[in-house]
Amino acid sequence: MAPLPVEVLRGIYLGILTGIIPGLVAWSMGFVFKYFTGVSIPGFGVVVMALALAGVNGGLLALTDQTILDSTSGPVIVTAIVVVLMISLYSHAKGDAMGAAFPRRLSLKSLRERSLSTDVVELVGGRGQVRVSVSGEVTDMEGYPPLTPEIRRGIREGDWTFPAELSVGELENRFAERLRTEFDLSDVSVQLDERANATVVAAPPLSGLSKRVPAGHRAVSVDTLVPTGMGRSDEVELVTAETTIRGTVLSAESEPSDGPAVTDGGEVTTEEPATQPATTTTGGDGRVTVAVPRIRAKTLVAADRPRLVVQPRGTRREFELISLLRRAGKRFRKLTLRADSELVGSTLAEASLRESHEVAVLAVRRPDGWVIAPRGQTELTAGDQLFVVGTTSALDAFAGVVA
């Protein structure tokens, strides 16, 4: 038997050779778990995994074999096991630290925001769009009454198109909101795959007009001359003999002599069913239901056939600006600055967001108010809501830094 120091050196040599693979695996697991989930693997799990890998790789499971421990090679085996465990624990610690410090360009949330297959993208007018199709039957939502056959058929056979640059997660939200608006659904859940096939679970409307009346307002119906092309949500003025009352159209019904009557901004009522639903009035004498402030409702009820004037909404400059930026490939995003972000405590000038992250901060929202077009000396604090603009890839990368 060789002297004990020689046996220890042989054990160290054997442990280094055998511990390479367990060390790489420990580092990889520590980095991946910390990078994607923010969770560290317990050290006991790393020890068990390293010992198992070492046993497969180099036959070092002798820690539980009393015969080997009592043999002449016992010190070599025990020393090698200790070396393997030290290498694995050290590698795991380094991987965990690198996973925490590495800029997060990917996360579980970004993996959820997967993109659509290029096969389903259609080019229309030089821009890509995707047509969503509802696969299978529209399912009733548990706890709600069943959907009517008309709503099921409308959801299943509807023409649903959206911009192709949306991620699957954003597309699901857009589609759900559109279904909720189109059919006045109480609730709806949508799941999409990469082929733009949708699975829809929906709940029917549980109320009608009351859902569209804002708080502090009342719905009042008046007989008046209805202009052509008016629809729900139009801003109007009702001119009476005493005053002028401003309100929002909730529903409208016009009865021209040579056409159908349009009710509620979307239902066509004729003696025979119409093939296509109208979305605006066709003009003529009719009845309009408007939402007006509660204190003005009594005046409007007492009025005799007020005159209706539709108010223009005009062109909003901010919409034009957004359109120009989108044409240039820019997108907007709202991000909340976390307390552990490296940007907390620094100013916008120190962060150099344009140079380092290729994004620009348009506004900062805080509990005490807004900071519009913040200057370089604006200090960033935890909890700030940053409204930033940049390319999709730059925003994805910056989201990891902020969070």
For residue 306, tell me if it sits in a domain.
yes
Residues 185 and 221 in one domain: no
Distance, CA of 403 to CA of 399 (rounded, Å): 6
pLDDT tens for residues 302-355? 888 999 999 886 655 666 677 777 777 888 888 888 888 888 888 998 888 888
pLDDT tens for residues 144-190? 888 889 999 999 988 888 887 777 778 888 888 889 888 878 889 99
Nearest C-alpha neighbor of 16 from the set 95, 86, 93, 71: 86
Map residue 112 onto helix, strand or coil: helix
For residue 112, tell me if it sits in a domain.
no
Residues 216 and 194 in one domain: no
Res 271 pLDDT > 50: no
Residues 261 and 346 in one domain: no
pLDDT tens for residues 348-389? 988 888 888 889 998 899 888 888 888 888 999 988 999 999
Residue 65 lies in domain: 4-101
Cβ(224)–Cβ(305) below 8 Å: yes
Q: What is the CATH number of the domain that holds 162?
A: 3.10.20
For residue 366, tell me if it sits in a domain.
yes
Res 111 pLDDT > 60: no
For residue 111, tell me if it sits in a domain.
no
Residues 279 and 333 in one domain: no
pTM exceeding the 0.85 threshold for the entire prediction: no
Domains contained in the chain, number: 4
Predicted pLDDT of residue 259: 43
For residue 34, tell me if it sits in a domain.
yes
Residues 295 and 326 in one domain: no
Domain boundary among 292, 310, 328: 310
Residues 305 and 330 in one domain: no
Nearest C-alpha neighbor of 249 from the set 277, 274, 216, 227: 227
Residues 292 and 356 in one domain: no
Residues 53 and 8 in one domain: yes
Residues 330 and 394 in one domain: yes
Residues 9 and 97 in one domain: yes
**Residues contacting residue 101 through CB under 8 Å, at least 6 positions apart:** none
Residues 84 and 123 in one domain: no
Q: Which residue has the tokens 């509802």?
A: 134
pLDDT tens for residues 56-76? 554 444 444 555 455 556 677
Residues 193 and 242 in one domain: no
Cβ(226)–Cβ(286) below 8 Å: yes
Domain boundary among 203, 234, 249: 203
For residue 113, tell me if it sits in a domain.
no
Predicted pLDDT of residue 268: 36
Domain boundary among 160, 177, 203: 203
Cβ(289)–Cβ(231) below 8 Å: no
